[in-house]
Amino acid sequence: MAINSDELEEFNKSYLEFKDKDKKIFSRLVNKLLAKTFIVCSLKEDYNDYYDALRLFNPLSIYFNVIDYEIYKEEDSKIIYIKTSEDRNRVHLNKLDTILCLIFRLTYFKKIKEIDLSNDVYISVSDIYDELNKTQIYSSPKTLGEIERSLINLRRNKIIDFNSKINPESEIKILPTIQIVIKVTNMSDLNNQIKGYINENEDNEGEDNNEDFEENQID
């Protein structure tokens, strides 16, 4: 989206009127979004930043437009995030990461119908094992270590959250960002995506292989 001179003038005026505190906040928000893509209100470390980003949303929007990004706000789920059409600042998830994301999206689909949007959605590690085995994608079960590595990566990218060391009883919080990472309109489409992995050649199971599908990339 092209930026016009009026918007630049508006940004300059707004920024010049910022107090020193707001200049620091603005800089922190820009750097956080470029580094992490998402600001999620339900995360303790993002709570204040979410409301600051809402307050400064217009100057943030103009700024990101200048550098070929767009900023979005999902006020129902209390998420602010950025996207770019250019192939940069993208995180390519490996196969196991991607399949876990599909499982999380399926779980979110099911549970969000039962609870209010203001409630959190959780899945246990033992349930993750069960759902992963149900897919029949892998000929042998994944180890706890493999699952943990994927979960740590997905937490780093603000798709899930957890606090304790991973064990079968651990509860994993599925963040509403999963709706943005995996864009599907119904459970049938989601199940079809999962089934698409079943007939893949076993030689392609390496965890270092990155998936190239758009829904497996975090902009």
**pLDDT 10s digits, 128-157:** 999 998 888 888 889 999 999 999 999 999
Whether 12 shows a pLDDT value over 90: the answer reads: no
Q: Say whether both 112 and 23 belong to one domain.
A: no
Q: Say whether both 167 and 108 belong to one domain.
A: yes
Q: Is the dihedral of CA 165, 108, 35, 13 positive or negative?
A: negative
Whether 113 shows a pLDDT value over 80: the answer reads: no
Q: Say whether both 100 and 175 belong to one domain.
A: yes
Q: Say whether both 74 and 182 belong to one domain.
A: no
How many domains is the chain partitioned into structurally?
2
Q: Say whether both 74 and 149 belong to one domain.
A: no
Q: Say whether both 40 and 127 belong to one domain.
A: no
Whether 86 shows a pLDDT value over 80: the answer reads: no
Residue where a domain terminates, one of 83, 112, 141: 83
- Residues 70 and 74: their CA atoms lie apart, in Å, by 13
% of the chain at pLDDT higher than 90: 53
Q: Give the three-class secondary structure for 68.
A: coil
Q: Say whether both 61 and 160 belong to one domain.
A: no
Both tokens assigned to 125:
């590690």
pLDDT of amino acid 214: 39
Residue where a domain terminates, one of 83, 117, 137: 83
- Residues 176 and 179: their CA atoms lie apart, in Å, by 6
Helix axes 5-17, 57-66, angle to 10 degrees: 130
Q: Say whether both 188 and 212 belong to one domain.
A: yes
pLDDT band of 216, cuts 50, 70, 90: very low
- Residues 19 and 22: their CA atoms lie apart, in Å, by 5
Which of these, 39, 146, 169, 37, lies nearest to 96 by C-alpha position? 146
Residue pair 73/15 in contact (Cβ under 8 Å)? The answer is no
Q: Say whether both 62 and 99 belong to one domain.
A: no
Whether 213 shows a pLDDT value over 50: the answer reads: no
Q: Say whether both 60 and 119 belong to one domain.
A: no
Q: Say whether both 124 and 188 belong to one domain.
A: yes
Q: How far is CA 55 from the centre of its chain?
A: 22
Q: How far is CA 92 from the centre of its chain?
A: 12
CATH label of the domain that carries residue 166: 1.10.10
Which of these, 29, 77, 89, 96, lies nearest to 178 by C-alpha position? 77
Quote the pTM value: 0.82
Whether 215 shows a pLDDT value over 50: the answer reads: no
Question: Per residue in 31-59, pLDDT tens?
Answer: 999 999 999 999 999 999 999 999 999 99
Q: Say whether both 102 and 164 belong to one domain.
A: yes
Averaging pLDDT over each range in 9-13, 164-168, 189-193, which range is the top one?
164-168
Whether 178 shows a pLDDT value over 50: the answer reads: yes
Q: Which residues does 94 contact at the CB level (< 8 Å), separation at least 6?
A: 150, 207, 208, 209, 210, 211
HSE of 149, CA atoms in CB hemisphere, 13 A: 10
pLDDT band of 71, cuts 50, 70, 90: very high
Distances in whole angstroms, Cα of residue 189 to Cα of each of 12, 102, 106: 45, 11, 10
